[in-house]
Chains A and B, each alone.
Chain A
């Protein structure tokens, strides 16, 4: 008798817990973003646009895209944009393993082509922004680095993004360009690469290691030195002839659920408003 009562009570608890879990799962779809208010006055572009899209975007786009999403949602009140930021190859790998997204924005053409080859996107995408590399050192500059030339000094702790991650590949290309120049000497590339102490999974991790003063120098995008970071690091420019200009393409994924909203978001990124935001965050406009 007593046991039956216990069993029933247990059953009730299981049912109640399941209902609670389902309720929580359904309610947690809203994105808890803490981005600032719209920068532009909201003028609805199309009243018919509605729905939620998920955008997979390169880590370097984090701040600019969050602002663009706020502006986009203000212009299209029935829409919402969620993000998954990460290293471009990781985004492609996640999509390849079945992650659902409507839009993919990578930091290089190579990873977008890889996504196209795997049938993950509908086309090779449109270029929407450009970015350039910069050497960053902690404000205290413990290794006394004044220019790219100083990266060869023995004992410099240099941090790069790992190979395959666009900024990691670009940084190695830039080091190779510097090494090919007579002014830097034949051993330049080899010595600089010997100073690499860590290969980080994405560009934000490179910036953090430099910002904390753990690393003496890192190579990142100009746009990664955001307002929040600028107080902790110093930027040392890399001359145009040795720099590598990154081109960012954006595309609709093969299995996009809300294609109209996805296309509208891409159009918005390419619009004057979107390009204005990107420029404000340090990107080079494609217009």
Chain B
């Protein structure tokens, strides 16, 4: 079987590896890598990406964990609908998320119109960047954590309650530690998705250096500006490295999880 499938397998590995290798090769050979890495475009967008994706992750954890718990433990009317709602951003193109956020929270949007009257405009602000990232990336966290909590037998919580622990204490002392690997895995997936968010941000938040121009937007801008292609290449290499580190972390966490269970 192996000899039959090997050519197809090799072909596809090459298909994935060659573009990434080409990026690294061009970046190293341009001689401009160090200059590009210290340009204001790179530094501003790197900082903005780090800040916004971290805030996005923090919100996803604070709001997503209770939601994941509710979905894992309770049955209620409309639960199927909520499940569908959480899955949708995962499969939708981010541009759809951008347009949807615009018609909801934009200045003429059905909610944004009222916010605007209160002097609260979201478009073209860093807040808009975070909202765009949250919309497309939080579902990854909620999905993963929900599966993790489902895998923890409710009977453990029950035992804790009978021993006198409050439900909240049981959650923090029993459920959370047991579901910990899935929480870390969900957080890494969520963070990686937030870091790579482009379409929704460009449409909903616009593109301005230091304010809404994250790394992926900086790559598009550098490409569209007609300046040297070395700048988008340098930015791309940084993002590839960041993504690779996140995935390695995920592997380590997943490995530990198997060990623990």
Q: When each residue 1-35 of chain B gets 1 if its CB lies under 8 Å from chain A and 0 otherwise, what string results?
A: 10010000000000000000000000000000000
User: Is the contact region of chain B dominated by helix, strand, or loop, or is it mixed?
Assistant: loop
Say whether A181 faces chain B, with CB atoms less than 8 Å apart: no
B123: nearest chain-A partner, CB-CB: A214
Residues of chain B with a CB closer than 8 A to A164's CB: 224-227
Give 21 CB contacts A-B under 8 Å: A88-B226, A89-B225, A90-B223, A90-B224, A93-B223, A142-B107, A157-B124, A162-B221, A164-B227, A165-B225, A197-B123, A197-B208, A199-B209, A200-B206, A200-B207, A201-B221, A201-B224, A209-B206, A212-B102, A212-B108, A214-B108
**How many residues on the A side are at the interface (Cβ–Cβ under 8 A)?**
31
Q: Which of B98-151 contact A (CB under 8 A)?
A: 102, 106-108, 121, 123-124
Q: Contact at A196–B223, with CB atoms within 8 Å?
A: no
Residues of chain A with a CB closer than 8 A to B52's CB: none
Say whether B212 faces chain A, with CB atoms less than 8 Å apart: yes
Q: When each residue 215-237 of chain B gets 1 if its CB lies under 8 Å from chain A and 0 otherwise, what string results?
A: 00000110111110100000000
B225 is contacted by which of A163, A196, A209, A214 (Cβ under 8 Å)? A163
Q: Contact at B227–A214, with CB atoms within 8 Å?
A: no
| Docked complex Cα distance between A202 and B225 (Å) | 10
| From B211, B223, B224, residue with most partner A Cβ within 10 Å | B224
| From A159, A196, A199, A202, residue with most partner B Cβ within 10 Å | A199
Q: Which 5 A-B pairs have the closest CB atoms?
A: A89-B226, A198-B206, A164-B225, A197-B124, A164-B226
Say whether A234 faces chain B, with CB atoms less than 8 Å apart: no
| Docked complex Cα distance between A198 and B208 (Å) | 5
Counted as pairs of residues, one from A and one from B, with CB atoms less than 8 Å apart, the total is 77
A166: nearest chain-B partner, CB-CB: B226
Say whether A148 faces chain B, with CB atoms less than 8 Å apart: no
Residues of chain A with a CB closer than 8 A to B124's CB: 157, 197-198, 214-215
Residues of chain B with a CB closer than 8 A to A111's CB: 226
Say whether A35 faces chain B, with CB atoms less than 8 Å apart: no
Q: Contact at B220–A201, with CB atoms within 8 Å?
A: yes
User: Is the contact region of chain A dominated by helix, strand, or loop, or is it mixed?
Assistant: mixed
Residues of chain B with a CB closer than 8 A to A202's CB: 224
Looking at the assembled complex, report how far the CB atom of A114 sits from the nearest CB atom of chain B, in whole angstroms.
6
B229 is contacted by which of A93, A200, A212 (Cβ under 8 Å)? A93
Residues of chain B with a CB closer than 8 A to A159's CB: 206
Q: When each residue 151-185 of chain A gets 1 if its CB lies under 8 Å from chain B and 0 otherwise, what string results?
A: 00000010100111100000000000000000000
Residues of chain B with a CB closer than 8 A to A88's CB: 226
Q: Contact at A162–B207, with CB atoms within 8 Å?
A: yes
| Docked complex Cα distance between A162 and B208 (Å) | 9
B207 is contacted by which of A89, A90, A199 (Cβ under 8 Å)? A199
Say whether A96 faces chain B, with CB atoms less than 8 Å apart: yes
Looking at the assembled complex, report how far the CB atom of A126 sits from the nearest CB atom of chain B, in whole angstroms.
21
| Docked complex Cα distance between A212 and B4 (Å) | 55
Looking at the assembled complex, report how far the CB atom of B31 sits from the nearest CB atom of chain A, in whole angstroms.
18
Q: When each residue 200-218 of chain A gets 1 if its CB lies under 8 Å from chain B and 0 otherwise, what string results?
A: 1110000001001111000
A199 is contacted by which of B4, B221, B226 (Cβ under 8 Å)? B221
| Docked complex Cα distance between A163 and B202 (Å) | 17
If A212-B108, A214-B106 touch, whether A199 touches B223 (CB-CB below 8 Å) is: no
